[in-house]
Structure 1
Amino acid sequence: MAGTVSYRVEDGIAVATIDHAPVNALSADVRQGVQAALARALADDAVIGLVLEGAGRAFVAGADITEFGRPPVPPALGEVILAMQASSKPLVAAIQGVAFGGGLELALGCHARLVGPRAQLGLPEVKLGILPGAGGTLRTPRLIGADRALPMIASGEPVDARRAVELGLAAALIEGDLLAAAKDTVRQLAAGPLPAPIDADRGRLDAPGAREAFEKAAEALARRAAEEPQVAAIIQSVRNSFDLPMPAALQAERDFFVALRDDPRSKALRHVFFAEREAARIPGQPKDARARPVARAAVLGAGTMGGGIAMNFANAGIPVRMIETDAEALARGQKRIAEIYAVSVKRGSLTEEARAQRLALIEGAVGLEAASEADLVIEAVFEELELKKEIFAKLGTITKPGTVLASNTSYLDIDAMAAASGRADDVLGMHFFSPANVMKLLEIVRAEKTSPTALATAVDIARKLKKVPVVVGVCYGFVGNRMLSRRTAQAERLLLEGASPAEVDKALTDFGFRMGPFAMADLAGLDIGWRIRKANGTRAVVADALCEAGRLGQKTGRGYYAYPEGARTGQPDAEVQALIERASAAQGIARRQISQQEITERLIYPMINEGARILEEGIAARPGDIDVVWLYGYNWPAWKGGPMHHADAVGLAKVAERLSVYAAQTGDATLQPAPLLARLAAEGQGFSALAAQAKAA
């Protein structure tokens, strides 16, 4: 028998333990081991039934994704489950931890499922661009009803132990000895007729109104996820539960799985899955580096960003002190937070009790001295380097030794702040993205002298705040905003050359972004970029002219677009077009018709080029880190895997060739292919080659 599944007999009951660290993934060895354990239990007359359990903190966390793309090794999971359902002896799953994807499908092959307090059950395959391929879309509806199963499968979100029992996924929640309870269940089942396999039970499918409830849920879901092929496949596969015999439905589900697995969009989502986990590995970080405990945090600034950061701590149950320079500004910030939580209560995503608890964790204070007892201080004041240096100089003297001092700056020099503090080893960047209480990305900026302990603390707290941390180096704009600046410059240039704001925005929304750059600028406020450019002594001809004309975006009813009577969707404005044409003439630029393909390439390829420079400089450790930044910080379409993955999909040779054309066409030297990009293109390689080298190092 495979060593990943152990087998023993206790009191006439076989116990098969899946032990395949770290998460008991369903590798070929595990599948073979479960199959062998079942055969052994059935062949032994002294055994009345079998308990299937997982070692460690997982029952089974899902399929072994590393097997994707390789020749299949028998038995397939579906074959194992069908053999389990045909068992003449009772099978009970004892689920003490996570049962995800194939793990839950395996458990559905048992006659009963018991869960421990820490169990989590889910079918997350949708997040990888696929669907459950071993009966999950068919057995779950039979067990809990199609209208309940569909949102669970299509969201990929797990349910906890209590909810699993409420839904009917599990028979009981066991607070005590789970294995002993599972053995008792085997004895009870062995004493009477075995329950029919899930495959044979159509009770919930044939219940009055079941089909109608499912179709209503399916219609709403199809509208929300129109561009996600795996969701369409999930809907149809669940529908097959009603319409097809189980063998035909299982085959259709498998056909969906194979087609989705080989779809480029699915491959991109799998890249994201691995890139996010790889980003957790911090290059150069000593293995013995340990995070400091953060019992209390402080946030400097009660504005939109400071308030959002404070909410993250309260949401995680960590007391936080929000500090302002005057009582009036503090009151405004506290009011804003209370209103945001009130909206959550109204929507039903938060209880009134939880709202009160979170508000109680956010303490307001005036004066920097209020940060003296914090274990972590995050500065979120105006983006002015001299002001920040002054603040860090004071924090260096008033805070406790070992307090981590972080700046939320989106582009300024962390090393300069660290030097001003007098204790540079405690200083780093923690760049939250707006709205900070919603966006998942946290760029953690490692300065030259940041200690491993401070870095470990920032990464640890990011995870407690349910953020996706990516460690980056110090440079102007770090990773995300440095690349964004290249796109912004090209968007401006495209307007001067002949494109309209609507044409530029359409190119990006057609690519998959939710909003184009000009609609987004109007939403955020054009004055934000204007203030930064004035501080840097730079100009953007069109954007500055709009600001000088008082067109600051939605908040003034006019920006790149017009927003009549408070409209949220902008309309093209002849005044803006005339302004752009005057700017083109003043710059001596002959306007022309520009194709959507050129607009898209000139927005996307310069970002890829800058990403190559970032990798070459060591600002980002891996191409996947850049992809994670753009996916979680800038809403890059997930099914395109991030800018560096997209570059590989297009081919670096093509990216380099088009950049060279546009550099010659515009006279913009920044569009010349970066040395790393040019080298990889010449060698016929992609950025994935760098990822493989980094992983091997």
Structure 2
Amino acid sequence: MEVALGAGTSDLVRFALDDGVALITIDNPPVNVTSQAVRAGLMAALDAADEAQVSRIVLTGAGTAFVAGADAREFDAPPQPPHLPDIIDRIEASDVPVVAAINGVALGGGLELTLGCAARVAAPTARLGLPEVTLGVIPGAGGTQRLPRLIGFGEAVAMISEGRIIAAEKALQIGLIDALDDDPVAAANALVLPDRPATGALPAPVLDCAATSAAQKGAAKRAKGQIAPLKAIELIEAATQLPLDQGLALERQTFLDLKTSDQAAALRHVFFAERSAMARGRKGGDEITEAVVVGGGTMGSAIAYALAQQSVRVTLVETDDAGAARARDTVAGLYDQAVQRGKIAPEAAEQALARNHSFQAGYDSLPAAQIAIEAVFEDLGVKREVFAALDAALPRTTILATNTSYLDPNSIADGLRDPARFLGLHFFSPAHLMKLVEVIRAQDTAPETLATVLRLTRRMGKIAVPAGVCDGFIGNRILTRYRQICDVMLIEGAMPAQIDAAMREFGMAMGPYEVQDLSGLDIAHANRQRLNWAARPDIRYIPIADRIVEETGRLGRKTGAGWYDYDEGKPLPSALIEGIVTQESERAGITRRAFTDAEIVDRATTAMFDEGLRILDEGIADSAADIDLVLIHGYGFPRWRGGPMHYAERQGQSALLKRIETYSEADPVTWTVPGVLRRLVADGDGLKTLMGDA
């Protein structure tokens, strides 16, 4: 029998009585986050259970989630009562046993709610974890103090510091839950309660120094520069020494301090940006079941493999039989890698290769695929030939997509029967692992074409960012500007190793010159030649990189040397390269000066923001958040800084305006003040006004 909780309470929590058992159901779709209204409803439900003098309380969630955590949208505001720790304390101290019936995901505050209960029953499909460190905070309602008391120090420190989410079966093995059942509510009603004290009353965990060291090393590698994982480890260590009430107080204060930090704000920004990006493919568009990929090199084979993982049948086209055989070997190698990583059994890999892939030379007898993706090398003429052949060989309804990094999709599409079904798909290498894909709207791309491709990329687990047409689209356009500014710093006084070290310390996965050595100096060289940088009056041309390619033949790791010399794979500063750098400074009449690491970072990140602002103003990107996603997922910008646009906004646009004005006074060719930035500062507006949604 369902009972109303009374005036002033939320309908997000339901209360029912059945034969002396109270059932409290959290019903805050889609994932039952513990908003203030939910917390108030829980308190009211516990009051109702007290008044009804029940013998047991079962706590569960509606739909497919128990509780997926706190409402992150409330993090920017002061905490509002009732507070989750108070609810959990009340549950734990209750004279009436509370049993958690974990029907789905129990994450963050959701898992902490269950830790206050006398017992926990989970559905086999449930997943449990305390992933708060991935949002720049730590568990703030007892997780660091109760979890190690329940499952032991080692399991808890690994789980919390990594933000690890585990399956229900694993949770049963480590003692986090007491039973598995397809009907967790019924099982929670009937469960014989375990003979143990409340979780908080269990003995303090025993410190495991080896587990602490492993967690610290893992955090340094996985989350370099991030504060929250290390704070979480400290708090779990504190649980071995402090009484529960002191540990809880320390945990709560740490949580509140981190909640308002720059890192937490950045990670929340990225979290919501990713959620918004993934939502794009939920509505509209047609389902793709058959695809053609042209080009069996590293990129094309990886795209074909990634499509096949979503049960898309893929025909990979090469120019001749030998090329088709090489493509098959490349794709087979990707399955072998998956087998080695334990992702698939050898027999299943063989079956998937046979079932989902075919390889052929030429365009005869292609299947009536819903999409064809071209992944040949960056040559406009070659790409046009490919699309002319595809246009003739495939139905008029087939979507045609070019995987290009810089070339103009509108020029590639010239001559197609129906350009409305054409667009660009800029995958990032390796395409089967990298989550980012830029979806390029050509001038005639139809909305339904875009919708179908976004549906496909979402199915592939990709973060798809729509972009307009310009040289380099979003990511490579900003990368080009970033590298240009770094080259200017080279000729003015810095060296490659210092710039790389400064950007790594800032949090970039690699410095710009390390990245060029990895990808090959010939790629950027070809792009500069295509754009004729040496003759352009609007660019301060720095010839250092071109001299390295043209005079030394050093193209990076693939030739054994580039910006760096290499000793058994270890990069070492090169006297030859440093000599070329200083020669070019002398030739330009520049007196070299020292750069601080902070100055290097300021110039480089301001260049990213400057170019991103222009991209926004031109309508190339739909939002500043999309630019941040591209730089984080495609170019190694530190996630915990939120991307270049978020990072700049946190510094303040007035400060950035003054900085760019200063740069422009000293170097008016390299730096000009974006008019849109002057307008934003004058009007006191944020970046959202550029998209008309402020």
TM-score by length of 2: 0.91
Deviation at 1:231, TM superposition (A): 0.7
C-alpha distance in 2 between matches for 1:399 and 1:330: 19
Q: Alignment length, in residue pairs?
A: 676
TM-superposed CA distance for 1:599, in Å, is 2.8
Paired with 2:569 and 2:311, the residues of 1 have a C-alpha distance of 35
2:510 aligns with: 515
Are residue 184 (structure 1) and residue 190 (structure 2) matched? yes
Q: Judging changes above 3 Å, is the alpha-carbon distance between structure 1 residues 589 and 329 closer, same or farther for their aligned structure 2 residues?
A: farther
What's the counterpart of residue 579 of structure 2?
578
- Matching of residues 611-622 of structure 1 within 5 Å: 611-622=612-623
**CA distance, structure 1, for counterparts of residue 397 and residue 174 of structure 2:** 47
The code of the aligned residue for 1:330 comes to: A
Determine the structure 1 residue equivalent to 2:159. Answer: 152
Residue 256 of structure 2 is matched in structure 1 by 258
Render the CA deviation track for 1:449-481: whole Å, top value 9, x for unaligned: 322222222222222222211112122111111
CA distance in 2, matches of 1:118, 1:671: 55
* CA offsets 1:403-428 (integer angstroms, 9 cap, x no match): 32222111222233344332222222
2:173 corresponding residue in structure 1: 166
Which residue of structure 1 lines up, in the alignment, with residue 232 of structure 2?
234
What is residue 561 of structure 2 aligned with on the other side? 558
Q: Tell me which of 110, 124, 133 is aligned to 1:126.
A: 133
What do the CA deviations read for 1:296-341 (whole angstroms, capped 9, x no partner)?
A: 3332212121122223223444333332212333333443444454
Q: Is the 8 A contact 2:158 2:211 kept in 1?
A: no
Higher mean C-alpha displacement, 47-56 vs 536-545: 536-545
How far is 1:358 from its partner? 4.8
- Contact (CA 8 Å) 2:420, 2:449: kept in 1 or not? yes
Counterpart amino acid of 1:183?
A: N
Shift of 1:241: 2.5
DSSP 3-state at the match of 1:420 = coil
**AA matched with 2:253:** D
Does the aligned pair in 1 maintain the 2:637–2:643 contact within 8 Å? yes
CA contact (8 A) 1:651 1:686 kept: no
Match in the other structure for 2:490? 495
Q: Report the counterpart of residue 420 of structure 1 in structure 2.
A: 415
Deviation of 1:568 after TM superposition, in Å, equals: 2.3
> Which amino acid counterpart does residue 225 of structure 2 have in structure 1?
E
Tell me, in whole angstroms, the C-alpha distance in 1 between the residues paired with 2:248 and 2:668: 58
In structure 1, C-alpha distance between the alignment counterparts of 2:508 and 2:177, rounded to whole Å: 40
Amino acid at match of 1:660: E
Partner of 2:524: 529
**Cα gap change, 1:229 to 1:474, in 2 (>3 Å):** same
The equivalent of 1:35 in structure 2 is 43
Taking the TM superposition and a 5 Å limit, the aligned residue runs for 1:608-687 are 608-668=609-669, 671-687=671-687
State the one-letter code of the partner of 2:109. G
Deviation at 1:672, TM superposition (A): 0.8
Q: 1:7 and 2:15 equivalent?
A: yes
Counterpart check, 1:293 vs 2:268: no
Query: Helix, strand or coil: the match of 2:125?
Result: coil
In the other structure, the counterpart of 1:61 is 68
User: Please, which of 235, 247, 264 is the counterpart of residue 245 of structure 2?
Assistant: 247
Describe the superposition over 1:247-290 as per-residue Cα deviations: whole angstroms up to 9, x where unpaired.
Answer: 111111112211211221121111111222233465xx9x9x52
The 2-side partners of 1:647 and 1:478 are apart by: 21
State the Cα deviation string for residues 90-142 of structure 1 (Å, max 9, x = none): 32222222221111111222222222243222222111100111111222223
Partner of 1:113: 120
Tell me by how many angstroms 1:569 deviates: 2.5
Which runs of no fewer than 5 residues in structure 1 stay unpaired? Answer: none
Conservation of the 8 A alpha-carbon contact between 1:90 and 1:194 = no
Q: Deviations over 1:513-564 (max 9, x none)?
A: 1211111101111111223333343446211111112111111122111114
SS of the counterpart of 2:614?
A: helix
Return closer, same or farther for 1:402/1:157 CA change in 2, 3 Å cut-off: farther
**1:396–1:11: structure 2 CA closer, same or farther, 3 Å change rule?**
farther
In structure 2, the partner of 1:546 is 548
Aligned partners of 1:133, 1:271: CA distance in 2, in Å? 20
Q: Secondary structure at the match of 1:660?
A: helix
Checking the alignment, whether the CA contact within 8 Å between 1:395 and 1:421 is kept in structure 2 is: no
Contact preservation (8 Å) 1:525, 1:552:
yes
Contact 1:24 1:54 in 2 (8 A): yes
Pick aligned residue for 1:26 from 31, 34, 42: 34
Partner of 1:484: 479
Q: d(CA) in 1 for partners of 2:176 and 2:345?
A: 26
In structure 2, C-alpha distance between the alignment counterparts of 1:370 and 1:110, rounded to whole Å: 63
1:303 aligns with 2:311: no
The more displaced of 409-418 and 82-91 is: 409-418
CA contact (8 A) 2:500 2:512 kept: yes
TM-aligned CA distance change 1:571 to 1:654, over 3 Å = same
In 1, Cα distance between equivalents of 2:151 and 2:292: 45
Question: How far is 1:347 from its partner?
Answer: 5.0
State the alpha-carbon separation in 2 of the partners of residues 404 and 617 from structure 1: 27
The residue correspondences of 1:181-220 to structure 2 (distance < 5 A) are: 181-185=187-191, 188-189=192-193, 195-202=196-203, 205-206=205-206, 211-212=208-209, 214-220=211-217
**Whole-Å Cα distance in 1 between the matches of residues 689 and 159 of structure 2?**
36
C-alpha root-mean-square deviation of aligned residues, in Å? 2.5
Shift of 1:79: 0.8
Q: What percent identity do the matched residue pairs reach?
A: 42
Inter-CA distance 558–393: structure 2 relative to 1 (3 Å threshold): same
- Check whether the contact 1:615–1:621 (CA below 8 A) recurs between aligned residues: yes
State the secondary structure of the residue aligned to 2:60. Answer: strand
Take 2:39 and 2:350, find their aligned partners in 1: how far apart are those partners? Answer: 48
Shift in Å at residue 368 of structure 1?
Answer: 3.1
Q: After TM superposition, give the deviation of residue 484 of structure 1 in Å.
A: 1.1
**Displacement of 1:147:** 1.5
Q: Deviations over 1:326-364 (max 9, x none)?
A: 233333344344445444544556554554455443433
Which moved further from structure 2: 26-35 or 63-72?
A: 63-72
Q: How far, CA to CA, are the matches of 1:26 and 1:57 in structure 2?
A: 15
Q: In structure 1, give the amino acid aligned to 2:286.
A: R
Question: 1:645, 1:688 within 8 Å by CA — same for their partners in 2?
Answer: no
**For residue 145 of structure 2, what is the aligned residue in structure 1?**
138
Code of the aligned partner of 1:25 = V
Choose which of 431, 434, 458 in structure 1 pairs with 2:429: 434
CA contact (8 A) 2:212 2:233 kept: no
- Higher deviation after alignment, 266-275 or 591-600: 591-600
Q: Are residues 155 and 366 of structure 1, via their aligned partners in 2, closer, same or farther at CA, if it must alter by over 3 Å?
A: farther
**Partners of 1:647 and 1:119 in 2: CA distance:** 39
Instruction: Find the residue that maps to 1:571 and give its secondary structure.
Output: strand
User: Of 207, 214, 218, which aligns to 1:221?
Assistant: 218
Contact 1:42 1:88 in 2 (8 A): no
Aligned residue in 2 for 1:460: 455
Deviation at 1:636, TM superposition (A): 0.5
1:329-344 matches, cutoff 5 A? 329-344=323-338
Q: Tell me the CA shift for residue 388 of structure 1.
A: 1.6
Letter in 2 for 1:162: E
How far apart are residue 246 of structure 1 and its match? Answer: 1.3
Question: Do 1:390 and 1:420's aligned partners in 2 also have CA atoms closer than 8 Å?
Answer: no
The farther-off stretch of 413-422 and 378-387 is 413-422
TM-score, normalised by the number of residues in structure 1: 0.91
Aligned residues of 1:144 and 1:168 also touching (Cα < 8 A): yes
